[in-house]
């Protein structure tokens, strides 16, 4: 009798021993209909001072709301742009592709400003279902202007508008894109370029300046929305700056049929760059590379953006053949020349570990093997806590089988070392850093831009699967919610 009971109790007990913890894991992976980002993360103070509960007490009165973190609210704008986003059918390589436009095209218009100007963009959602926003990738905007749905604002519903204002304080190549359901909206083309030229135009040696947005629509590689090559008219002896923007999810390789110079990376000028031969430049997802192309006497230079598309700079009708693809990559760790800085990056106030692994479990209730950060799955991910003014070190360690282009909003990372080998070239400032499988990087940033900032993988399919964390400054709170009435979903 007792034995018979044991016969069914034992398996039942064993099943429960497996199912109950699984159920708990499943339950923990679900996202409530409305959630503050401050409740999502697990506070991580790294090696620095742990500060009071008030930093996390967003229900209290204390603290600064993200909405108060703005630039010069009374200063008149120098550059004013109206942008309207729509869901639209695009025509790519003669085929219809469902996507998005900004002012009727994808990519949208390139915004040009001078360093120091105040840029004001009136953004209207014409017809993007589920709402849209604009994020200024690589620009250290004030937090209220960061465009992250559910963190710094609500998604802009159809028929509604939001005005972005920021001072373009650094010259360089940047881009804008929606940060609502980005894995669909960015991939569908809700994006465009932003070019900030140096104050007083310090580049008289350049005779031309062109943007080349590399984007793949439904499997078709394009430059500036067109399948095929981009032709840039220029005369022999001209020097043209080609601003390559990689808006895809994977690394974009660049190479040319003659020496070209990598003048800037992610909006930061390289110190004393040398002409490149026989190597590829790898542009991380979200990253930008400014190439200086000198038009040869032969009439035209050819820069490959991957195997399938090219920028041809020179006389019309000259068609240089595709150069063969180099087998090695430019190592940015040793490119250009070091520059003495007044800021000492070697004594951080706080150090964080950002270890990426793959782990079985549940994300949003779905079983699978998911991206984990410091051993945790979305949404139990670290919330990196900092105080304003700190020098912050991050150790990225990619123990997964795929590349992760790491993007911290609102800040620039300075690379100190890769696999413990110190950087020896130009200061390497980046906002989109490819961390390859098995690689680790030591980077620092100065925490001088208070707010709640996403710190995520810019392979947007990885982000959608939970490869996102946040950086939170002490005392900053948000009135916005993930989910909620506006269905905010930044990934
Ligand atoms: Cu280019 Cu979080 O974005
Ligand atoms: Cu990734």
pLDDT in tens, 381-407: 999 999 999 999 999 999 999 999 999
Secondary structure of residue 182 in the 3-state scheme:
helix
Q: Give the CATH number of domain 208-314.
A: 2.60.40.420
What lies within 8 Å, CB to CB, of 35 at 6+ separation is 379, 481, 482, 483
The structural domains of the chain, with segments of one domain joined by +, span 42-59+347-483, 79-197, 208-314
Dihedrals φ, ψ of 455, to 5°? -140, 95
**What separation in Å is there between the alpha carbon of 105 and the centre of ligand 2?**
29
pLDDT band at 472 (very low <50, low <70, confident <90, very high): very high
Which residues sit with Cβ closer than 5 angstroms to ligand 2, an ion?
404, 457, 459, 462, 467
Residue nearest to atom 3 of ligand 1 (CA): 137
What average pLDDT does the chain have? 93
For residues 101-116, average pLDDT: 98
Give yes or no for residue 55 having a pLDDT over 60: no
Dihedrals φ, ψ of 125, to 5°? -90, 105
pLDDT band at 118 (very low <50, low <70, confident <90, very high): very high
Give yes or no for residue 271 having a pLDDT over 50: yes
Question: Which DSSP helix (H) or strand (E) runs through 433?
Answer: strand 433-435
Q: Give the CATH number of domain 79-197.
A: 2.60.40.420
Q: Quick check: CB of 407 below 6 Å from ligand 1?
A: yes
**What separation in Å is there between the alpha carbon of 489 and the centre of ligand 1?**
13
Q: Quick check: CB of 135 below 6 Å from ligand 1?
A: yes
Give yes or no for residue 58 having a pLDDT over 90: no
**What separation in Å is there between the alpha carbon of 405 and the centre of ligand 2?**
6
Give yes or no for residue 60 having a pLDDT over 50: no
pLDDT band at 57 (very low <50, low <70, confident <90, very high): low
pLDDT in tens, 325-384: 999 999 999 999 999 877 788 899 999 999 999 999 988 889 999 999 999 999 899 999
* Intrachain domains 42-59+347-483 and 208-314 with the same fold: yes
- Measured from the Cα of 186, ligand 1's closest atom is 1
Asked if CATH classification 3.30.499.10 holds for the domain at 42-59+347-483, the reply, yes or no, is no
pLDDT value, residue 203: 60
What lies within 8 Å, CB to CB, of 353 at 6+ separation is 46, 374, 394, 395, 397
Give yes or no for residue 59 having a pLDDT over 70: no
Give yes or no for residue 12 having a pLDDT over 50: yes
Q: Quick check: CB of 243 below 6 Å from ligand 1?
A: no
Q: Quick check: CB of 137 below 6 Å from ligand 1?
A: yes
pLDDT in tens, 305-314: 999 999 999 9
Name which of 149, 235, 243 is nearest 190 in CA terms: 149
* Residue 482 near residue 40, CB atoms below 8 Å: yes
For residues 159-184, average pLDDT: 97
Q: Quick check: CB of 470 below 6 Å from ligand 1?
A: no
Q: Quick check: CB of 284 below 6 Å from ligand 1?
A: no
pLDDT in tens, 194-243: 999 998 765 667 889 999 999 999 999 999 999 999 999 999 999 999 99
Question: Which DSSP helix (H) or strand (E) runs through 16?
Answer: helix 2-29
pLDDT value, residue 79: 97
Say which ligand is closest to the CA of 139.
Answer: 1
Q: What is the 3-state secondary structure (H, E, C) of 84-135?
A: EEEEEEEEECCEEEEEEEECCECCCCCEEEECCCEEEEEEEECCCCCCECCE
pLDDT value, residue 53: 54
Residue nearest to atom 1 of ligand 1 (CA): 137
């Amino acid at each position: 009798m007792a034995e018979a009971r044991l016969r069914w109790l034992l398996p039942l007990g064993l099943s429960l021993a497996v199912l109950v913890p699984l159920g708990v894991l499943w339950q923990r992976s679900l996202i409530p209909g409305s959630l503050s980002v401050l409740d999502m993360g697990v506070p991580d103070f790294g090696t620095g001072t742990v500060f009071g509960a008030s930093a996390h007490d967003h229900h209290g009165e204390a603290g600064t709301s993200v909405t108060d973190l703005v630039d010069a609210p009374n200063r008149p704008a120098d550059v004013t742009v109206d942008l309207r986003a729509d869901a639209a059918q695009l025509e790519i390589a003669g085929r219809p592709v469902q996507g998005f436009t900004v002012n009727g095209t994808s990519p949208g218009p390139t915004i040009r400003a001078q360093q120091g100007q105040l840029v004001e963009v009136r953004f209207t959602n014409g017809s993007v279902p589920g709402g849209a926003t604009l994020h200024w990738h690589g620009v250290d905007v004030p937090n209220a202007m960061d465009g992250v749905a559910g963190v710094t604002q609500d998604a802009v519903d159809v028929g509604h508008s939001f005005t972005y204002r920021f001072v373009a304080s650094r010259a360089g190549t940047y881009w804008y894109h929606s940060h609502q359901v980005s894995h669909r909206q960015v991939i569908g083309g809700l994006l465009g370029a932003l070019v900030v030229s140096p104050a007083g135009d310090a580049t008289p040696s350049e005779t031309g300046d062109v943007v080349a947005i590399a984007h793949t629509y439904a499997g078709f590689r394009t430059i500036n929305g067109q399948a095929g090559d981009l032709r840039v008219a220029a005369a022999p002896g001209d020097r043209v700056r080609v601003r390559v923007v990689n808006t895809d999810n994977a690394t974009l390789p660049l190479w040319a049929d003659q020496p070209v110079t990598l003048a800037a990376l992610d909006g930061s000028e390289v110190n004393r760059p040398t002409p490149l031969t026989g190597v590829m430049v790898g542009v991380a997802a979200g990253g930008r590379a400014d190439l200086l192309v000198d038009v040869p006497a032969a009439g035209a230079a050819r820069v490959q953006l991957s195997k399938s598309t090219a920028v041809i700079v020179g006389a019309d009708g000259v068609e240089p053949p595709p150069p063969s693809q180099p087998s090695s990559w430019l190592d940015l760790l040793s490119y250009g020349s070091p520059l003495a800085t007044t800021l000492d990056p070697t004594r951080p106030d706080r150090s964080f570990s950002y270890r990426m692994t793959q782990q079985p479990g549940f994300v949003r209730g779905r079983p699978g093997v998911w991206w984990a950060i410091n051993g945790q799955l979305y949404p139990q991910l670290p919330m990196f806590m900092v105080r304003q003014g700190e020098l912050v070190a991050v150790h990225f360690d990619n123990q997964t089988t795929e590349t992760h282009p790491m993007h911290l909003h609102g800040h620039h990372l300075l690379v100190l070392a890769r696999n413990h080998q110190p950087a020896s070239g130009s200061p390497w400032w980046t906002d989109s850093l490819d961390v390859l499988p098995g690689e680790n990087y030591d980077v620092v940033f100065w925490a001088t831009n208070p707010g709640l900032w996403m710190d995520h993988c810019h392979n947007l399919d990885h982000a959608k699967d939970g490869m996102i964390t946040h950086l939170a400054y002490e005392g900053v709170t948000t009135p916005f919610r993930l989910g909620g009435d506006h269905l905010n979903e930044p990934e």
